[in-house]
């Protein structure tokens, strides 16, 4: 794995390109949290060997404000294909005015492992979910991995919690832990899964600070 980089690629356009799945999983908000109509969405799916992407149980998951999304599992390696990931936020009452949430995705080694890199905004829509431009995780035994950097701006009272943990060899899940992206702090992780045991689990929570 090469040394950490400070800057990723240039921004990419947002897209509604996603896999339509039925029976999306939604978790309930924690007690006492307002703005329950706000929902954070994740779309996680694969091509090739789907065992690399959440053990084949993949698709659209979501959670209301203050609640964690269900965990997804990243276990890409030398098997065929990879995993796509994209995000969206629905806010029917427009309670998140001025909020901007972004994710940057880029390589620190062999760029073929991190497809469609760049900085993208996570769309905030009032009705149907609009998806950020998807990127593709295809890490394996090639050098380096893929950085994910989550950023929040425009509001000082909203944060995005990201939990990124190993369930096997921890060297595959760089900068692991639970971090909060705020207007003053980024949440940065390194996906470097390969043929070592286990993978990396990940979940998200949009909340008031």
- pLDDT tens digit string along 168-177? 787 889 999 9
Mean pLDDT of the chain: 84
Q: How far is CA 196 from CA 4, 67, 142, 143, 203, in A?
A: 21, 31, 13, 14, 22
Decide if 77 is inside a domain: yes
Q: What is the DSSP string of 42-88?
A: EEEEEEE-GGGBGGG--EEEEEETTSPPPPEEE---SSSEEEEEEEE
pTM surpassing 0.85? no
Specify the pLDDT at position 34: 44
Does the residue 151 lie in any domain?
yes
Domain count, the chain: 1
* pLDDT value at residue 12: 52
Q: Which domain holds residue 64?
A: 25-208
Interval 68-79 mean pLDDT:
87
In a domain, 2, yes or no: no
CB 49 within 8 A of CB 43: no
* 20 within some domain: no
- pLDDT computed for residue 56 by the predictor: 64
Give pLDDT, residue 144. Answer: 85
Q: Does residue 119 form part of some domain? A: yes
Mean pLDDT calculated for residue range 138-142: 81
């Amino acid at each position: 794995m090469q040394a950490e980089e400070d800057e990723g690629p240039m921004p990419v356009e947002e897209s509604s390109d996603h896999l339509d799945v039925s029976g999306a999983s939604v978790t309930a908000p924690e007690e006492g949290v307002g703005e329950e109509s706000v929902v954070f969405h994740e779309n996680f799916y694969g091509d090739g060997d789907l065992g690399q992407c959440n053990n084949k149980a993949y698709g659209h998951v979501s959670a209301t404000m203050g609640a964690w999304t269900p965990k997804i599992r990243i276990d890409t390696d030398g098997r065929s294909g990879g995993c796509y990931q994209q995000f969206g936020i629905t806010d029917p009452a427009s309670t998140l005015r001025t909020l901007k949430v972004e994710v940057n995705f880029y390589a620190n080694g062999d760029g073929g492992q991190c497809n469609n890199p760049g900085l993208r905004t996570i769309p905030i829509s009032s009705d149907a979910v609009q998806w950020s431009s998807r990127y593709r995780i295809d890490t394996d035994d090639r050098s380096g991995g893929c950085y994910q950097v989550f950023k929040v701006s425009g509001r000082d009272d909203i944060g995005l919690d990201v939990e990124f943990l190993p369930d096997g060899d921890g060297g595959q899940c760089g900068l692991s832990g639970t971090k909060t992206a705020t207007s003053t702090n980024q949440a940065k992780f390194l996906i470097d899964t390969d043929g070592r045991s286990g993978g990396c689990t990940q979940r998200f929570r949009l909340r008031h600070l």
